[in-house]
Amino acid sequence: MEHYNMNLTLKVWRQKNNQAAGSLETYQVKDISSEMSFLEMFDVLNDQLIVAGEDPIAFDHDCREGICGQCSMHINGRAHGPWANNTTCQLHMRAFKDGDTIVVEPWRSKAFPVIKDLIVDRSSFDRIIQSGGYISINTGNAVDANSLPIDKKNADDAFMAAACIGCGACVATCVNSSAMLFVSAKVSQLALLPQGQPERQSRVLNMVAQMDKENFGNCTNTYACEAECPKGISVSNIARMNREYLNAGLTTES
Amino acid sequence: MTWKLLFTSSIGKKFTMGLTGLFLISFLIVHCSINAMIFFNDGGETFNHWGHFMGANLIVRTMEIGLFLFLLLHIVQGLMLWSQNNKARPVKYIVKDDNNSSKWYSRSMGLLGTLILIFLVLHLYHFWAPSRFGGMAGIRPLEETTLSTYNNQEVHNLYAEMLLVFQNNLLIVLIYIFGVFSLCWHLIHGFQSAFQTFGINHKRYTPIIKTAGLAYSVIICLLFASMPVAIYLHWIQ
């Protein structure tokens, strides 16, 4: 692919803190390489702001390899920008043309309050995990791996669900801010494996209860979450969680 | 786990919507089949016969109570979900490009449902109310819509009522077409969505469910829409 430089107009959401009212601020960046990642373009912009004595734009990022799920940017109306199965750090500037205007906003959800600029508080996801997204392991010697036979299909499905990086793009893109794709990926991953069986019923009930407490919306099966998920988590996980929930809800006594 | 929680949690509310929705879908099959009897073009003979069968049948009358209860549950639950979902994003996006990731009608179930509800009020006023409470003030007297004898029984001439409502009233016909149009999009999403809610998402079955849902929605709604049109254009007398 041919390399080119571009000049861009950026409209970025600036918000001092959780209580302050925010607004879109306009910035110009020049000579941006088409080989840069979107975050590197933001580094250039922040450099510019620091040199000018202004407050740099706060944004989340960590691995820059597409696996940490931190880079939560809503770019031109889409979670993680225009590319499919992609995080913001893996979005490259060749997705844009010279002279483009790019609007960047934080995730919008009651459950993800803005901390500053583009950084949102995703601890609601942590609390959902704490409510049941784990397995109990007794201490002692590790058991022989071959003593736990696992069906290949289940192992694959569990692995696909475990690919969820908890970035929150599903919530950000859902018309209802529903967290069903995230929670269902975590429920599925453990429900499909033998290690997840002891807490199978209480897990789904507790995690859904916590999800409801965190003010996420309800699922309308629009499947936008699946389309925007950087890891391609399937909505079949949501169907599985619905089955798990119905099953646990009807049979559990506690 | 209590029964209450099973139905008031976010997933439970979806179960309620799906169950009542599927019941209403089954109702529409009966409603549409019997209405389609007008296309025999026999002056409403067949249609009124089956209309009378439904109206004078104790089992159907009892099920009608269930129908209204489920309909009410579907409406109330739907409006509550709509308002809750709206509150889940208090600050909206300035730019939101939704059409890349989902269909407009799947995101508009609340709006489509409300349009159907408004249509339904008019529809019940036109047909159900005069048939049940003909003598009620403000509603057309029963006499106008009643044939004197039919199999030696007094029968509501709902066919005459249909002609009366649609024959010379373009506005009403257009409102009905719009109502049925809203219903069609609501059903295309609702039919397959209900199965996903019940946990049925399968490589082999889901494509069948989606195709069946699309075929059902289009056929039912085309049939419904063709009724006022056919009457307005005097195709059936």
A68: amino acid identity, one letter:
C
CB contact under 8 A, A108 and B93: yes
Same structural domain for residues A132 and A247?
Answer: yes
CB contact under 8 A, B101 and A227: yes
Report the candidate in A243, A91, A241, A111 with the shortest Cα–Cα distance to residue A180.
Answer: A241
Q: Which residues of A touch B192 (CB under 8 A)?
A: 221
Q: Which residues pair with A25 in a beta bridge?
A: A12
pLDDT in tens, B95-111: 999 999 999 999 999 99
Token pair belonging to B12: 């439970």
Q: Which residues of B touch A233 (CB under 8 A)?
A: none
Token pair belonging to A239: 């169907």
Position A186 in a domain? yes
Position A141 in a domain? no
| Contact predicate B135/B208, CB 8 Å | no
What pTM was estimated for this model as a whole? 0.92
* Cα–Cα distance for residue pair B190/B17, rounded to 1 Å: 9
Same structural domain for residues A131 and A247?
Answer: yes
- Other C-beta atoms closer than 10 Å to the C-beta of A203 total 23
Residue whose structure tokens are 């044939």: B147
Query: What is the pairing mode between strands A101-105 and A5-14?
Result: parallel
Same structural domain for residues A175 and A208?
Answer: yes
A49: amino acid identity, one letter:
L
CB contact under 8 A, A252 and B1: yes
The pLDDT value recorded for residue B155 is 62
Same structural domain for residues A195 and A94?
Answer: no
Same structural domain for residues A97 and A130?
Answer: no
Q: Can you give the residue ranges of every domain in chain B?
A: 8-86+106-232
CA distances from residue A237 to A21, A188, B13, B167 in whole angstroms, order as listed:
37, 6, 18, 51
Q: Taking CA atoms, what residue in B is nearest to A243?
A: B199
Q: Taking CA atoms, what residue in B is nearest to A215?
A: B88
Ramachandran sector of residue A137 (left: φ over 0; alpha: ψ -120 to 50; beta: rest): beta
CB contact under 8 A, B1 and A205: yes
DSSP state of A160: H
- Other C-beta atoms closer than 10 Å to the C-beta of A103 total 18
Count structural domains, chain A: 2
The three-state secondary structure class of A24 is strand
Q: Which of residues 104 through 163 in chain A touch B, CB cutoff 8 A?
A: 105, 108-111, 114
Direct distance between the N- and C-terminal alpha carbons of chain A, in angstroms, rounded to an integer? 60
Q: Taking CA atoms, what residue in A is nearest to B97?
A: A77
CATH of the domain at A179: 1.10.1060.10
Query: What is the pairing mode between strands B153-156 and B146-150?
Result: antiparallel
Residue B32: which residues within 8 A CB-CB, separation 6 or more? B220, B223, B224
Using DSSP, how many helices (H) and how many strands (E) does chain A show?
8, 7
Token pair belonging to B66: 């269930």
ipTM: 0.92
Ramachandran sector of residue A215 (left: φ over 0; alpha: ψ -120 to 50; beta: rest): left
Report the candidate in A190, A212, A199, A207 with the shortest Cα–Cα distance to residue A252.
Answer: A199
Question: To probe the interface with B, which of A233, A242, A244 has the most B CB atoms within 10 Å?
Answer: A242
At residue A13, φ and ψ (nearest 5 deg) are -70, 120
Q: Which residues of A touch B84 (CB under 8 A)?
A: 217-218
Token pair belonging to B117: 């509800």
| Structural domain span for residue A75 | 5-115
Query: Using N-to-C axis directions, what is the helix angle for A236-251 and B170-197, rounded to 10°?
Result: 70
CB contact under 8 A, A239 and B103: no
Same structural domain for residues A196 and A229?
Answer: yes
Query: What CATH number was assigned to the domain covering residues B8-86+106-232?
Result: 1.20.1300
B5 touches chain A (CB under 8 A): yes
B2 touches chain A (CB under 8 A): no
Q: pLDDT tens digits for chain A (254 residues)?
A: 789 999 999 999 999 999 999 999 999 999 999 999 999 999 999 999 999 999 999 999 999 999 999 999 999 999 999 999 999 999 999 999 999 999 999 999 999 999 999 999 999 999 999 999 999 887 788 888 788 899 999 999 999 999 999 999 999 999 999 999 999 999 999 999 999 999 999 999 999 999 999 999 999 999 999 999 999 999 999 999 999 999 999 998 87
Position A142 in a domain? no
Same structural domain for residues A92 and A167?
Answer: no
Residue A25: which residues within 8 A CB-CB, separation 6 or more? A11, A12, A13, A14
Same structural domain for residues A88 and A187?
Answer: no
The pLDDT value recorded for residue B66 is 95
Position A17 in a domain? yes
Would you say residue B147 has pLDDT above 60? Answer: no
- Give the minimum alpha-carbon distance from A83 to chain B in angstroms, rounded to a whole number: 11
Position A25 in a domain? yes
CATH of the domain at A61: 3.10.20.30
Q: Which of residues 29 through 68 in chain A touch B, CB cutoff 8 A?
A: none
The pLDDT value recorded for residue A31 is 96
